[in-house]
Amino acid sequence: MPHPISPTPQTELDEADFTARAKARLNEIYGPRADEVLRRLLRLISHQRGAIPERSRPLWSERDQVLITYGDLLLDGERPPLQVLDEFLETRLADTFSGVHVLPFFPWSSDDGFSVIHYREVNPALGDWEDIRRLTRHGDLMVDLVINHVSRESLWFVDYLAGTQPGRDYFIEMDPNTDLSQVTRPRSSPLLVPVSTRRGTRYLWATFSEDQIDLNFANPDVLIEFIGIMLYYVEQGARIIRLDAIAYLWKEIGTSCIHLPETHAVVRLLRAVLDYLAPGTLLITETNVPHRENMSYFGLERLDDATTSDVPAQPDEAHMIYQFTLPPLLVHTLTSGDATALEAWARSLPALPSGCTYFNFTASHDGIGVRALEGLLPPHEIEAMLELMHRFGGYVSMKANADGKDTPYEVNITYFDALRGTRRGADPWQVERFLCSQHLMLALQGVPGIYFHCLTATLNDHEGVERSGQLRTINRRRWQKEALDELLDSRNTPTREVFMALRRRLKLRAQEPCFHPEVEQRILDTPPTLFAVQRGPLADGRRLLAVYNVTDKRQPLSLPDLDEDGWYDLLADAPWDAQAPRELRPYRSLWLVQRPGAPTS
């Protein structure tokens, strides 16, 4: 039986199309130097061509759902952690996820992997490349291209200190008296880091920390190097490339140094390389910024430019962008018991063009971003949420502003503990409230990502914060496999209850064609105590209705759609009983499907 959704084909470029696109992008980045950089790029591609695996499949389907994890979140004695993860996927999560995002697994010096020392090596404490490739038998592999910065323990930085190539010109020196007040900052640390070199003290650009030194993409050598690294990851089995902190890539004094045109041109060039050499490989941008800025990484703002011949008929930047608004907005909704802001935001999302979708998530290795709430919630509501997160054991990380003041950037807390209660305080509904957040996310248009610690209902790791001195460690606990197995195999533990419920819901979702990322969604009118989204209808008339009670009280169901015939309750695996009492228990949800003409019993 044919699938009711026509699969979106992968984009492929022939040599002439690729050369034209690459030249256009390089002109935007390097101007008169573009021709020479293009010749170097074409040489690199000719060397890599034979090593790239061929793929032929649609971009995505309803089966796509990704596990997000560090390579060493599971520890088992002396066994390589990547092998422990592989076994866990095989025994506990078989047929649950379509792929796994292994957060940076390279040798690193800080930030749990995001200060990379060697880009083409696997951290020996985790395993080796064979262990990484073995994970692809569970589905797609997502790999981070940590492109904005590098560890000061890298060989490139050693070259810089010694004044030798290639690293000598890989970094951005800056006079400390330069006016950098317009630069958008995600941190409150100093932007310039003093470094002792053989030429004396120099000041280098460091957006995130003194150990994460920004790379100089005004030097074409850096761009060519990273294209080679990206293709190496694809050669090792990566199907999804995540561009970490991409928004800050290009620097231009006198600007905000975020989302600059050259940055977008680099993303478009990387996309063109993949479409030409590795069609079917997906690009995802990680940009923790307000929603409108985030959307720009689809390339949507260029589609109305009808005078430029090289502008394609569809977006040509990222295939996916992170839905950064969703995690904090869900916390607000479920702790306030009011879905008004969530409904308004979800209703405002534009229809996505073919070949683009969202990556939906509630938690990740980072904190719960606050910037995405700008313009969606009034300041007093944001402040109330931050105060509540403090009460539930969380911390708030700050960022520096152009006026010299620091403002909240993210909440550091596990998502399970973020939903410990409501604004009235902690209560007995933590598990139900948390599961409601996950189940709601799974119904929205896009590809869902589940962080490992959401699967295991992990509590705040305050001891880890004390050991590391880093606030983000609160949500990066390393599980001893034996201890986790005991919790999963014991009855009446939150860990088992959450794990089993999420695994069941994920398997249901993967079988429902209405959850295909390209099936339209429509937000229904409901009281503030409910949230309801319709997916579909499909070509055969099938549609899905997902309804959620976002409060700790029973709520009446007064949706006119429920008066229609033909609804089937996916969660109960039975026809919907239209005569049953129309109410939802606290934090419960419905997934109902309807296919016109289908029998009702």
- Hey, which residues are catalytic here? 244
Q: What are phi and psi of 399, to 5 degrees?
A: -130, 155
Give SS3 for 537.
coil
**Strand ranges inside 160-259, DSSP E:** 192-197, 200-205, 212-214, 240-244
CA distances from 576 to 119, 298, 524, 592 (A): 53, 39, 19, 8
CA 31 to chain centroid: 32
Residue among 509, 449, 524, 543 at smallest CA distance from 5: 543
**Strand ranges inside 158-207, DSSP E:** 192-197, 200-205
Residue among 315, 318, 302, 320 at smallest CA distance from 353: 315
Backbone CA torsion sign across 221, 225, 230, 232: positive
Gap between the Cα atoms of 437 and 502, Å rounded: 11
Quote the DSSP letter at residue 433.
H
Angle at the Cα of 12 from the Cα atoms of 448 and 537, rounded to 5 degrees: 45
Gap between the Cα atoms of 384 and 388, Å rounded: 6
Decide if 241 contacts 274 (C-beta within 8 A).
yes
